[in-house]
Amino acid sequence: MAIETPAVILNFKAYEQAIGDNAVKLANIAAEVAQASGVEIVVAPQAVDIPKISPIIKTIAQHIDPLRPGAGTGSMLTEAARAAGAVGSLINHSERQIQHSKIDLSIKKLKELGMTSVVCADTAEKSEELAQFSPDFIAVEPPELIGSGISVSTAQPEIITNTLEKVRAANSAVKVLCGAGISNKEDAKKSYELGAQGVLLASAFTKAENPKAVLENIAEGFE
């Protein structure tokens, strides 16, 4: 199942506010906002929560390991993520970085299973390198802005425009998302106007006192 654009991807990370029953509550909120706004909203919960959340809203894993079924204790098997209901996975998030060779293998494994790859990169140059592996999406996220409340689209818009230019030159089929510091309609709108095809965010939604209001506001940025 493909992820449509513009897309809002919500990374639940390992926040207490976004695990177990709390994760289900947030997923239901995201589903309500997606239906009301018409914006594609996707969530990336903890692996153990995927089976509970995937019937509610389109769901991706936070990480997969590109190994074949068999030995691999402690690994996140791609087949297991798909069986749990995930339609894709984040790859190489700044909190779970992997070698380029494994990024390539992870993308290939997801493609093999008909799943969507969302690869994270911290610079335009790194995005250009990773675009050659043909992921479905690249999310550019300067790590210093993650969780800062300062949007890359506002603080460093040139990162988005440079990333778009380099990624399109390397592989025009790859879609670009804006991550790091996205927290409101203005951030999302600016990202979209610069050419990004969606946003990736976490704490602005998961840790909000009123996550529904936050998500409704962000979705308005794509109207």
| pLDDT for 148 beyond 60 | no
The answer to whether the peptide bond before residue 6 is cis (omega within 30 degrees of 0) is yes
Region 45-74: what's the mean pLDDT? 96
Residue that is written with structure tokens 């919960």 in the block? 45
| pLDDT for 162 beyond 90 | no
pTM: 0.94
- CA dist 92 and 41 (Å) reads 21
Q: 155 falls in which pLDDT band (50, 70, 90)?
A: low
Q: 43 falls in which pLDDT band (50, 70, 90)?
A: very high
Region 31-44: what's the mean pLDDT? 98
Indicate whether 1 belongs to any domain.
no
Strands (E) in 13-122, as ranges, are 40-44, 88-91, 116-121
143-153 burial, b if ≥16 CB within 10 A, otherwise e? Answer: bebbbeebbbb
Work out the mean pLDDT of the chain and round it to a whole number: 92
Indicate whether 124 belongs to any domain.
yes
Indicate whether 146 belongs to any domain.
yes
Q: 89: domain CATH number?
A: 3.20.20.70
Question: What is the domain range of residue 173?
Answer: 7-220
- Known active-site residue 100: no
Region 44-64: what's the mean pLDDT? 98
Tokens representing residue 18 in the block: 């976004």
The candidate with the shortest Cα–Cα distance to 7, out of 213, 192, 160, is 192
Indicate whether 122 belongs to any domain.
yes
Which residues are paired to 8 by β-bridges?
41, 199
Q: 177 falls in which pLDDT band (50, 70, 90)?
A: very high
Query: Looking at per-residue confidence, does 158 or 203 come out higher?
Result: 203
The DSSP bridge pattern shows strands 137-140 and 40-44 to be: unpaired
Q: 86 falls in which pLDDT band (50, 70, 90)?
A: very high
Indicate whether 80 belongs to any domain.
yes
- CA dist 209 and 138 (Å) reads 29
Give the length of the chain: 223
Indicate whether 156 belongs to any domain.
yes
Q: 142 falls in which pLDDT band (50, 70, 90)?
A: confident
Indicate whether 158 belongs to any domain.
yes
Q: Is the dihedral of CA 49, 176, 104, 173 positive or negative?
A: positive
| pLDDT for 150 beyond 60 | no
**Which among 93, 125, 128, 144 is annotated as catalytic?**
93
Q: 147 falls in which pLDDT band (50, 70, 90)?
A: low
Tokens representing residue 52 in the block: 């509970």
Q: pLDDT exceeding 90 applies to what percent of the chain?
A: 81
**Which among 40, 63, 128, 141 is annotated as catalytic?**
141
Q: What's the structural domain count of the chain?
A: 1
| pLDDT for 143 beyond 80 | no
